Amino acid sequence: MTEPTSISLPFHRDGSDFAAATGQTLLTQKVLHVLLSEGEMPWRTAFRAALDQLRHRRTDAVTVELVRVRVRDALARWLPEVELLRVEAVAEGNVLSLRVDVREGNVSATVELGVS
């Protein structure tokens, strides 16, 4: 069985064609695409985790839990083939750090980003 391959995100050229990604890179890119999309696709405005709506809010326990739940729900909806292993959201001052561990088949990835 061959490893899944798809166009790399964000789109960029690799020679005469669009670059492709596989394995851990592809899995990380798919997760980031769901988490960082802001509903900009006119044909599917619901494709998002809506983390952008939480910018400039207090980083209290409620916001931390809301981020965790939105990540969990968005990945379950838009990437059902990806198993969510862990979502950890930690508030440090005005920055909320997010760590997401996922697995698809035999490929695992850890995605880390800051939400402020």
Residues 12, 16, 18, 19: is their CA dihedral positive or negative?
Answer: negative
Give 46: exposed, middle or buried? Use CB within 10 Å, 0-12, 13-18, 19+: exposed
Give pLDDT tens digits for 21-76: 778 888 898 898 888 877 666 677 777 787 877 777 778 888 889 989 999 999 99
Class of 5-115 in CATH:
alpha beta
In the chain, which ranges are E strands?
Answer: 5-7, 13-14, 17-18, 20-22, 83-92, 95-104, 107-115
Place of tokens 């798919």: 30
8 A C-beta contact, residue 6 and residue 19: no
Residue 81's identity, in one-letter code, is E
Question: Is the pTM here over 0.95, yes or no?
Answer: no
Residues 82-108 pLDDT 10s = 999 999 988 888 788 899 999 999 999
